[in-house]
Each structure stands twice: as C-alpha cells, then as structure tokens.
Chains A and B, each alone.
Chain A
Amino acid sequence: MAEDIVDVLIIGAGASSAAAAWSLSDTKMRILCLEQGDWMNPSEYPSNNKYWQVNRNQFNQSPNGRKWDTDYPINEDDSAISVANFNGVGGGTVLYSGHFPRLKPSDFRANSLDGVADDWPIDYATLDPYFAQNDRNMGVSGLAGDPAIPYHEPPLPVVPIGKMGDTLGRGLNKLGWHWWPSDAAIITEDYEGREKCVNLGPCNYGCAQGAKSSVDIAYWPVNQRLGVELKTRCRVREITVDENDMATGAIYFDEDGVEHHQRAEVVIMACNGIGTPRLLLNSTSARFPDGLANRSGLVGKNLMFHPWGFVKGHFNEPLDSHLGPMGSCMLSQEFYESDPNRDFVRGYSLQFTRGSAAIDTAVNGTFGGDIPWGSGHHEAFEKYMGRDINANICCEDLPELCNTVTLDPTLVDSHGIPAPKITYRLSDNSKRMMHHAVGKATEALQAAGAFQIDAAGHTAGTGWHHMGTARMGKDPENSVVNEWGRSHDVKNLFIIDGSVFVTSGAVNPTTTIQALALYIADSMKKNLANLFD
C-alpha cells in the first residue's frame, strides 16, 4: 500500500492555523491539520444555562486548573505569570474576548525608534492587506478613523459602547486623552450565515450565539468545505526529519492512544508560543540534538507575555456595565508610544471592559468589605451592581533571553510527552511601566466620576498571549525563522503562530498572528517553485 503523504501538515487548529489553511486551500494541495483537542459544542457553553455565572468555572482558562484530558500540564513554578490557553478546534479564540486591536507601525521598529529589542524583518505596511483580509474572513466590527492606528475600515459596525462608554468617554475627554471603541472579532450584523451578537455577556467562556469570531466558527467550516482535512484528538509527539534536514512529517497519538507517523512534504507549526517550542524541543535527533530548527539556540527563548494589570472604578450612576460583550468596549492608547520623559521605554494600552455580573459583584463586595451582612446588604449591593468599569492594563513585554519555555525534566502529559516549563520574570522596565499605568488608569476612572477605585495592579493569572519563542529574522544566528516564517534550519518547516513575534507590542496579538499567518501562507504560494531553496 502506498504511504499516505500529505502536501501540507499543520499542527494545531487555532487562530493562525485556520487562517493559513484557508489561504493555502486555493492551491488544491492536500492539507491536513492535526489538533489535540475536540470540536466545541456551543450549546454546552455557560450562557445556555441559568447557572451560567458559576458554570463559567468549567471553562477555566488555566490548563492546570481545567485539567481536561485534551490539555497538557505546564510547570509554572518559576513564572510571575501563569498560562491561560485552550486546546481544541479554535484554540485560544474559543475563550478569548474578541478584543482585536492591531500592532502599530512602531511595533515593528522598536530598535530603530527606541534602541531596544530588534526590528522585525517586515513592517506594518506588509501586513496591512492581510489584516484587512482577515477582518473580512473573521467578521470584525469597529469604527474607522482611530487616530492611534493607520486608517482601516472594519467590515461591520462598532460594538455598542453603552452608558459606560459614554461615561468613560466624557472622562477621558476631560483629560484630553485618546480613546476609541475597540475593534472586535464579534459580528454586530448577521454575517456569512452567522447571527449577530445579542450581548450575552461572557464572551470569554465561549459564545453560545456564535457571534464571537472564534475560528471554529469563522474559519474551519469554510476550510473544510474547501477541502482541508482536520483530525481532532491527535496529539503530536515530535516532528520527524531526514538526513537532509528536511521535515518528513509528524508522529502523533490518535484518540485511542495509537501511535502514527503522518508523512508530509511541508510541516507548519501552529501550536502557540508555548506549544510550538515544546514540540520543537521534543523533536530531537542526531541532526538536531538541541531540538528541531534550533541551531540558533533561540527556540523557547525570549518568551513574552503581556504583563497585565487591573484597576476597577465604581460609579454612582447606574451604567448597566454588566451588559454587553465582556471584553469589548473601548481602549485608550494615550500611553502606547515611547516618551523620553517617562522612566520606562515603550508603552501600554488601557483596555476598558464591562463590569461584573451579579454574583461577582456580591462576592467581591461581601468578602472585600464593601457589602455588609444584614440590613445594609441590599442597599450596598445596589450601590455596586452595574456601576463598575474595569481598566485592563496591557504592557508591552520586551524580549529577554532569560524568559523561556523549556522541557520539564519530570512532568509529562497523558501520553508521556515531556511538558513545558515556564521561566519568566517581570523586567524592571515592565514594573515601572505597570506602576505608571496603574496611576493613569486610576486618573482616567476618577475623571469619569468614579467614587471608589480598586487597584489590583499586576495580576499573575493573565498569560493569554504567548510570543517570541521562535522569533523571525533575516540572520540565522539571531532568529529561528526567516522573514516569511520558514525555518532557517529546516527548509520545509514553517512557524506561523505567536512564536515568531520579534516584539510583543502592547495589544492583544490575535489579529496580528492571523495577519502573519495569511502573509506567510501567501509567501509560500508566491515561492512555490523554489520553496525549499
């Protein structure tokens, strides 16, 4: 029997994978995607249930807390930030909030502009058409004309900012600061067979409506109609190579635990900034004793999260702030670009998100001392319910060799595959930036009229964004993949997820990850004749 060899093998079925598979499907190559998790069933998401407020806990964003059999454990003992992810068709987009800001032109030139980190080998203009294509494919809403980003027109109308948006906008106007309704991967009109957002609320525990553009909804059904094959519950153990340093495929376990070797002409890694270095480091051989595609020694190095902080404001007037897409209201990028008058380099975004639901209001208020037991309980609850606004602080994280993904010497997943270990600390620059941001978030909420500010500052359980662990660049000594995602060491191996980021910017990375994936796939198509040269 002839050996089953696919043209393109993609590992992982998350944001980048879905976009690249869509782009490559017009080549009529045989494309197979292996995903370790399952398809999600939107009817099982919490907002289908009257107890949705507590059922959210089933969709814990920490794999170590969730412990599904499709998850792998992560040693976070030496990390100041713990990982949040999701393993299934859709990847992290299943549980993200759909907040969809792009990296800015200056993010690609941190070294030229500010003398830190490195410039990317590509620029914003290169990605611009791919951002736009991805916005159309995903279904992105927003308002054109944001002066903090090059002009672009989101295909769908902006998500309602509500009363809380008005209140906050007036406050930020008093300060003369930038603000703008967020681009959101949420459809605000019926779009491509999907029904529009009805403001269920808890987007980041799965969208029962299917209005949030997670890629299991927005991309994969289309990809499958275009002929892309997707196998779930297939966990890859290692990428195989031949004596010519060419990838030959992947060894994986199917849902019954049976080991297979899937042969492929091209392998694309799309396992996120932790899963990809984990798999490369697990793929050792005589030719690659330190892990596949790792002759630079940079696989797993330069791990970037976004140091994340929270400041909450409580307001006197009813804002109905508990209603609406949880993560999508507005953002301020007043402090995004470097300013030599500050004691840190680069900057941060303030992402203003909706307020707390009833239980969170009651529990936080009661245990925090704002809502008493007894006769004063109801009056105090009314004082806090629907009247809070959260300022999320998203700090740019600069690459540092000491922040790493390595293999844990003892921890393994359910298939016995070595698990990742995260070693990560906040830099002094990040700490100074966070301190500044907490002060500015407080100032913003006070200007908007908050009578009480709760500043939690940096919070550990916020490692949603995984970047930098297989960075792109032109120099093989200083990067893992070239300027279009191809491994310097293995000519038919590509990386398309957040691993390739050179710097992190100060925004949620998904739209940029997907634009990069579309750009890399397009580059592959343009170079098909000499793809492996």
Chain B
Amino acid sequence: MADLITTDQLLTELQARTLDAVLDIIIPADEVRGMPSARDVDVMAYVSEVAEQRVDAIREELDSLNEESLKETNAAFADLSIADQQALTEQLKATERYFLVTTVLQTLNCYYQHDTVLTALGMKPGAPFPEGNEVPHGDLSLLDPVRARGKIYRE
C-alpha cells in the first residue's frame, strides 16, 4: 500500500516519509532559538493551498532521492541514520545542479511565511495590511555636512 495516493493525500507513504526526513535535514529544529523543524510546519498543506502546480515536481524529486538512496545504500532514505542522510544529500547537492530544487524552494516559502516561525523570529506574522510596521524616522542631522557643502547641480 506504500505507493497508494488517496484523494486527501498528496504523497505516498514512502514519499511522505522521505519528505519528513529531508525536511529535517534542510531546516532542523533549534531549541535555543525556539525554531521548529521544517517537518513541523506542514509543507505539503501549504503547497496544496498555494503552489499545487509544484506537487508533481516534488513527488519526482522525492522518488529520485529515494532511488539514489536505495542504489547507494540499499535502504530507503527515511530509514538511514541522520548522518547517512546528511552525507547522501551533500553528495547529491555536489553532483546534481537541480537537486531537490522545487522541494527546497517550496519549503523555504512555507517555512518563512509560517506564523510560528515568524513569531519566533520576532517578526509580525500574517498580512502586512492593515497594521503595517513601525519604522524610526532616522537621524536627519546626519545631513548637516551634505547641506554645508552647498549646491552641487549645474544650471
């Protein structure tokens, strides 16, 4: 049943396990900073809502990663140790120009718009409008030497 895609699932079980594993490799949690792992922000829910046209590319990339893992280690990517997962992804990044490019891009798009992440970064989550942002006026006395120099344009 591992390859079955149901209507409410965008990925097979194997693809989902591969994605979870690789998301933890791309952006792991950082407890000190209070940052979640990318596997905890529901990347596929975001993709299905905002970038559904990218689902096929993500599936292909995950399948390809898993095939490489089976070829290189005789084990599914999700079943490797974290050290082996890191080693394999580093190797593939070095040799394949577009390795996981869609998956990484959509992961970053999801992660850095996620309320939990933005809040942990000290940034306002959600839409900028209507609240907006505070920006300090700045120190306009810094312009004194510019004024003192006088006119610099030609007539």
Contacts and interface: CB of A to CB of B under 8 A. Distances in A.
B136 A163 contact: yes
A384 B125 CA distance: 19
A449 interface: no
Contacts of B136: 160, 162-163
A52 B152 contact: no
A172 to B, nearest CB: 8
A336 B136 CA distance: 29
Contacts of A324: 133, 135
Contact of A373 (B27, B130, B137): B27
A208 B121 contact: no
B107 to A, nearest CB: 9
Nearest to A337: B154
A199 B135 CA distance: 7
Contact of B140 (A48, A158, A320): A158
Interface in B11-52: 25-28, 30, 33, 35, 50-51
B108 A199 contact: no
B118 A358 contact: yes
B80 to A, nearest CB: 15
Interface in B104-119: 104-105, 108-109, 111-113, 115, 118
Interface in B126-153: 126-140, 142-143, 145-147, 149-153
A7 to B, nearest CB: 39
A213 interface: no
Given A106-B155, A199-B132, A362-B111, A176 B89 contact: no
B38 to A, nearest CB: 9
B102 interface: no
Given A374-B25, A377-B26, A323 B135 contact: yes
B43 to A, nearest CB: 13
Nearest to B90: A373
B123 A358 contact: yes
A199 B131 CA distance: 9
Contact of A336 (B27, B33, B118, B153): B153
Query: Looking at A53, A147, A375, which has the most chain B CB atoms within 10 Å of its CB?
Result: A147
A122 B130 CA distance: 44
Interface residues of B, number: 51
A178 interface: yes
B139 A169 contact: yes
A363 B127 contact: no
Given A377-B27, A378-B35, A105 B129 contact: no
Contacts of A178: 146, 149, 152
Most-contacted residue by chain A among B28, B129, B155 (CB, 10 A) = B129
Contacts of A145: 147
A148 interface: yes
Contact of A198 (B86, B118, B131): B131
Contact of A169 (B89, B143, B149, B155): B143
B146 A366 contact: no
B121 A323 contact: no
B135 A48 contact: no
Contact of B142 (A104, A169, A363, A373): A169
Contacts of A143: 140, 143
A373 B28 CA distance: 8
B113 A200 contact: no
Nearest to B142: A169
A53 B113 contact: yes
Q: Which of B121, B125, B129, B135 has the most CB of A within 10 A?
A: B135
A160 B109 contact: no
A359 B86 CA distance: 24
Given A105-B155, A180-B146, A378-B35, A200 B104 contact: no
Given A169-B139, A180-B143, A105 B50 contact: no
B152 A199 contact: no
Contacts of A53: 109, 112-113
A527 interface: no
Contact of B129 (A48, A51, A148, A158): A48
Interface in A335-350: 336-337
Chain B CB within 10 Å, residue with most, of A161, A176, A181, A197: A161
A147 B146 contact: yes
B9 to A, nearest CB: 22
Contact of A54 (B50, B115, B128): B50
Contact of A161 (B33, B138, B155): B138
Contacts of A373: 25-27, 89, 93
Nearest to A125: B155
A481 B126 CA distance: 50
A334 B149 CA distance: 12
Max chain A C-beta neighbours (<10 A), residue from B26, B128, B140: B128
A385 interface: yes
A91 B1 CA distance: 55
A145 B143 CA distance: 10
A166 interface: yes
Interface string A190-201: 000000011111
B132 A161 contact: no
18 contacts: A47-B128, A50-B115, A53-B109, A145-B147, A148-B153, A158-B137, A169-B142, A178-B152, A198-B131, A198-B132, A199-B133, A201-B133, A320-B135, A359-B108, A363-B108, A366-B108, A373-B25, A373-B27
Given A158-B137, A336-B153, A377-B27, 6 more contacts: A52-B127, A160-B135, A200-B132, A337-B152, A359-B108, A378-B33
